[in-house]
Structure 1
Amino acid sequence: MRTTARRLRGATLALAVTATLASTLTACGSGSGASAAASGPTTLKWASSYFPTHWDPVVSGSGAQFRLLSLVYASLTRTDENGKAVPDLAEKWEYNTAGDQVTFHVRSGLKFSDGEPVDGTAVKAAIERAKTQKNSALFGDLTSIKEVTASGQDVVVKLSQVDHQIPQLLGQRVLQVASPKAAQDPAKLDQTPVGAGPFVVTQLVPGTKVVLKKNPDYWDAANIHIDNVELVSAPDASTIVSGLQTGVYNFADLAPAQADAAKKAGLDVFVQPGFNAANISLNVNKAPFNNPKVVDAVRHAVNRKEFVDKLTFGLGEATDQPFPEKYIAYDPASKNRWPYDPEKAKQLLAEAGFKPGDIKLDLVIPDATPAAEIIQSQFAAIGITLTIKVDKNWSKPFFAKELTVSVYGTTGRDSAVQTLTAHFGPNGPLNLSTPYQPEGFEAAVAKVRQTPLDAPEYPEALRAATRAGLESRALVFTYSAPNLLAKSKSISALPANPAHIDWTGVRISGR
């Protein structure tokens, strides 16, 4: 048996994507915040533009809301600054020799905020609920898990295939663990969260505000230095900076258009590392995208720099893959494979038998956004007419694979394989062309699953799977939006954990 620590030691998941971004911004750290403890209780006043609709982690899914739910819920594992799975509720784990079973050892003596014990049975219940609850947003991420058994503090995850990605998978995005007693009534849990995380909810106004206090029973409570949290749904983006200036908030996610004003106001403005990637989603099972030449035309029609300049004010990055360039899964061999070339795009459409104006499509989106207008303009430049249609219930036809063309943005996943299968797999939720998948993708992903993360061949196996996935005609990636945050100087630097917001070790001074 080999421990996960040994298994993961060689897998450097270094993520330096924000190094160049952060150099243009105010440094994240502030010595005054880190050095001085407040004389009384400290309060984090956080304004978020993605305030959760659901507080049941099974329903909320793996979108950006998991960062807020992690105030309440601990997970089986979590992600460190290198993007590596490290202990959270599970203090250690090991695989069997075959690689088709992993045993997690849950810390002893822990309890949920309702007094229920945190043990193997609770973790087993969380996994099974995520797999089977009717409104679960997570069941598609857990297809490798065949059976879960529990004994005392141990939980044994038996797999349907060799899969060394499981510790990466069962982190904050997929396995935030709720009290099994509270989860017996999922509807109540959805608005009255009960977890074993760093904070406990004392008040919740749905869609508006939640008040929390420090959880003294959290396993790492000694490193949580914030006493209270007031989390509110952010008002209009233009008011965030003034709210931070006046002390209404001391922490907020920030729209790129507000970055300059926030810096001038003396706030700490920084980019938290992440895996954000926006794409144009195409349905290759519907005309005209059942013609590969039309898909290639779209690939060459996309000017990624325009998205970065107009939508992120230069703070984001152009991307043609679902990973940032410095990440282990990014495939350098696939970079700029379909460069911006509108003349070539027009030629491909002509070869496919289409004259300018022949192709007229509805671009169905959830909200009116400048991104949709950019896509509309870039398609028009090659002779494709898009009519933007806003549908608040857009997700239903999108996930039912009924749309012809749409847009999507993802915050990524901690497991690179999970990211790949979500986008390119035949049952991937982000694959508008289900059940289509590119040839060779399934075999490439299977090879990654079978490769231990500390094996020398792991990086190339992972990049080969990315390369195979990018053959998919269902997605055209455009740009990566920054995880842009602003805080008062009274708050010390946050750990630079990719895509996560971690309050471990963070202090708030008395100023």
Structure 2
Amino acid sequence: MGLGLGAGASLLLSACGGVATTAAAGGSATTLRWGWDLPSSWDPVFSSKGWDVHLLSLVYSGLTQLDAEGNAVPALARSWHYAHDGRTLTFALRHGLRFSDGTDVDARAVKASIERGKNHPKSLIASQLTSIGRVEAPDRHTVVLELTETDYQLPTLLAGKTGMVVSPAAFRKDEAALATAPVGHGPFELLSYAQNSMASLRRDPGYWNADRITVDRFEAYPAPDETTALASLQSGRLNVAQIPFSQVSAARAAGLKVQLIPSMVVRVLDVNTSMKPFDDPDVAEALKYAVDRQALLDAEQFGHGTVNLQPFPPGYAGHDPGLQDAYRHDPERARRLLKRAGRGKGGVELTLTTQQAQGIPEQLQAQLEEVGFRTRIEVIPESRASELVYVQHSRALYIDQFAGRESAVQTLQVLFGEEGLMNPSRRTTPELDAATRAVRRTPVDSPRYGQVLREATGVAVRSMPNVFLYTVPRVLARHPGVSAIPRLPVVQRFEGVKAA
């Protein structure tokens, strides 16, 4: 049991391109052209954006990957097993694999890569590897993780960016170069990269699952602007792209195939309780009741998606239907809480930070002012958002969205942990720590796993200030000659994608 999805559920998909044909020796070469955010870094240890995982997965692999139901399945490792107490995890590696620099993917390489992610002073994934005490390589094809505590989440955790294996020869020779020139073992190898412009890749015939990669070239471009998405598809610059909800009908009318795909992305308001006015618990709680989530969903996404008051979407093992009524829109209750906080007269001054100048910020501003928040909108550029919100912790309320991670514990840590990347106040509670440890110590195939995880979800929703709003489906338009993009959880892969 992985993500706990039913067979009909689908999770996060990124956009992929269709196929262009060019002359090549022995036949035609096929090229996928994909519009997506190019990575903040091609080095998974220093990558600062959750979205980076999709591009990085083109050039790296982990010991595991996730199947369509969110279960950990073999990748660089062909098998693994835990000791009876859950404190030792042993992986058996595939034989004969190489990194794109020609060096061997063996146990010593895996050991060095994991240790770098865990111990590098600037690592952005170190906080997710704390349960690993020691890494051993007793022979060329065996990796043993000695754990500091029982942790049954590691096979799913290592399926994502946290577990991507980087060539030790590359990071020992020139670590800084990895930011723009990755060296891993993946379905593709990076040929050239123009930062913020374009990445060109070619299929790696030595990839462990190369038989399932049916295109020869891959080109990645920045995601098109909402106003140019359809034009990019119609002109052939891209073959598959994410489009806004407002353009679904136009895309279909233009002869494009449109996929509306449920995802693990949840719209959320990040609340910093170390800053005024949310250092007052009554004010933070009032915010949860002040928001009309359905009205925001209808306006921003034309009704696509589902109101969701928790970090896990419907269909996920951690989603608790009983929490959906926990903070229903209740303006009067919000006013009472502000009055109890001594803010009934004159209202509460508040700055709402966003990357959008119009739309949901204005609607949210009106909802907040209705209950007594005097709200000013601050628009910041995307390039500054992470620094201001998550590094400097200098913004009290930020409109954001969260993409679910491979591991449920990883999700809880990123959102709510003291070192969580998306926890702007860096505060948590002992109760939530205990609930998260209980999830970590429960085997994912245990009949109790879903219940333990839902209990942790409930503690998080009730004790932490985050205001979860609604799910955000992926809307993909693709050329009709391109086969459907696989429905996979969290990390997009391209096995079996074909063109007519």
Give the structure-2-normalised TM-score.
0.91
How far does the alpha carbon of each residue in 1:54-105 deviate from its partner, in whole angstroms, 9 at most, with x for none? 1112222461121111111112211111011111111111111110121111
For residue 15 of structure 1, report the CA deviation from its aligned partner: 7.0
**Residues 1:239 and 1:149: Cα distance change in structure 2 (over 3 Å):** same
Structure 2 SS opposite 1:406: strand
Q: 2:262 touches 2:305 (CA, 8 Å); kept in 1?
A: no
For residues 363 and 15 of structure 1, what CA distance do their matches in structure 2 show?
39
For residues 368 and 166 of structure 1, what CA distance do their matches in structure 2 show?
40
Quick check: 129-138 or 472-481, which moved more?
A: 129-138
Q: Residue 109 of structure 1 is aligned with which of 92, 96, 103?
A: 96
Paired position in structure 2 for 1:421: 413
The reply to whether residue 493 of structure 1 matches residue 484 of structure 2 is: yes
For residues 309 and 7 of structure 2, what CA distance do their matches in structure 1 show?
17
For residues 358 and 76 of structure 2, what CA distance do their matches in structure 1 show?
40
For residues 49 and 221 of structure 2, what CA distance do their matches in structure 1 show?
20
For residues 10 and 212 of structure 2, what CA distance do their matches in structure 1 show?
26
For residue 366 of structure 1, report the CA deviation from its aligned partner: 4.7
**Residues 1:248 and 1:403: Cα distance change in structure 2 (over 3 Å):** closer
Structure 1 SS opposite 2:161: coil
Q: 1:273 touches 1:496 (CA, 8 Å); kept in 2?
A: no
Structure 2 SS opposite 1:81: coil
Paired position in structure 2 for 1:170: 158
Q: Residue 254 of structure 1 is aligned with which of 223, 236, 243?
A: 243
Paired position in structure 1 for 2:213: 224
For residues 273 and 409 of structure 1, what CA distance do their matches in structure 2 show?
15
For residue 369 of structure 1, report the CA deviation from its aligned partner: 5.4
For residues 359 and 112 of structure 2, what CA distance do their matches in structure 1 show?
43
Q: Residue 130 of structure 1 is aligned with which of 117, 123, 136?
A: 117
Paired position in structure 1 for 2:338: 349
Q: Residue 445 of structure 1 is aligned with which of 433, 436, 439?
A: 436
For residues 288 and 326 of structure 2, what CA distance do their matches in structure 1 show?
9
Q: 1:202 touches 1:213 (CA, 8 Å); kept in 2?
A: yes
Paired position in structure 2 for 1:35: none
Paired position in structure 2 for 1:89: 76
Q: Residue 274 of structure 2 is aligned with which of 285, 296, 304?
A: 285
For residues 273 and 194 of structure 1, what CA distance do their matches in structure 2 show?
32
How far does the alpha carbon of each residue in 1:212-253 deviate from its partner, in whole angstroms, 9 at most, with x for none? 111000001111101111211234222221221232221222
For residues 402 and 242 of structure 1, what CA distance do their matches in structure 2 show?
38
5+ long unaligned stretches in structure 2:
19-25
For residues 186 and 372 of structure 1, what CA distance do their matches in structure 2 show?
40
Percent of pairs identical after alignment? Answer: 38
1:456-475 pair list within 5 angstroms: 456-475=447-466
**Residues 1:99 and 1:369: Cα distance change in structure 2 (over 3 Å):** farther
* 1:218 alignment partner AA: Y
Q: Residue 403 of structure 1 is aligned with which of 355, 371, 395?
A: 395
Kindly tell me the number of residue pairs found equivalent between the two proteins. 485
How far does the alpha carbon of each residue in 1:464-488 deviate from its partner, in whole angstroms, 9 at most, with x for none? 1111111223211112222222211
For residues 394 and 229 of structure 2, what CA distance do their matches in structure 1 show?
38
Q: Residue 243 of structure 1 is aligned with which of 203, 211, 232?
A: 232
For residues 464 and 474 of structure 2, what CA distance do their matches in structure 1 show?
28
For residue 17 of structure 1, report the CA deviation from its aligned partner: 5.2
The reply to whether residue 60 of structure 1 matches residue 51 of structure 2 is: no
Paired position in structure 2 for 1:3: none
* 2:415 alignment partner AA: H
The reply to whether residue 508 of structure 1 matches residue 496 of structure 2 is: no
The reply to whether residue 187 of structure 1 matches residue 176 of structure 2 is: yes
Paired position in structure 1 for 2:147: 159
For residue 43 of structure 1, report the CA deviation from its aligned partner: 1.0
Q: 1:62 touches 1:138 (CA, 8 Å); kept in 2?
A: no
For residues 420 and 236 of structure 2, what CA distance do their matches in structure 1 show?
43
Q: 1:62 touches 1:174 (CA, 8 Å); kept in 2?
A: no
How far does the alpha carbon of each residue in 1:127-160 deviate from its partner, in whole angstroms, 9 at most, with x for none? 1222233443212221222221223111111211
Q: 1:431 touches 1:474 (CA, 8 Å); kept in 2?
A: no
Q: 1:62 touches 1:173 (CA, 8 Å); kept in 2?
A: no
5+ long unaligned stretches in structure 1:
1-7, 23-27, 31-37
For residues 147 and 298 of structure 2, what CA distance do their matches in structure 1 show?
45
The reply to whether residue 208 of structure 1 matches residue 197 of structure 2 is: yes
**Residues 1:286 and 1:243: Cα distance change in structure 2 (over 3 Å):** closer
For residue 329 of structure 1, report the CA deviation from its aligned partner: 0.6
For residue 39 of structure 1, report the CA deviation from its aligned partner: 6.1
For residues 358 and 166 of structure 2, what CA distance do their matches in structure 1 show?
35
Q: Residue 474 of structure 2 is aligned with which of 459, 467, 483?
A: 483
Paired position in structure 2 for 1:150: 137
For residue 330 of structure 1, report the CA deviation from its aligned partner: 0.5
Q: 2:40 touches 2:48 (CA, 8 Å); kept in 1?
A: no
Structure 1 SS opposite 2:462: coil
For residues 467 and 83 of structure 1, what CA distance do their matches in structure 2 show?
22
Quick check: 288-297 or 189-198, which moved more?
A: 288-297
For residues 390 and 504 of structure 1, what CA distance do their matches in structure 2 show?
39
**Residues 1:372 and 1:463: Cα distance change in structure 2 (over 3 Å):** same
Q: 2:416 touches 2:427 (CA, 8 Å); kept in 1?
A: no
The reply to whether residue 376 of structure 1 matches residue 368 of structure 2 is: no
Structure 1 SS opposite 2:162: coil
For residue 320 of structure 1, report the CA deviation from its aligned partner: 0.5
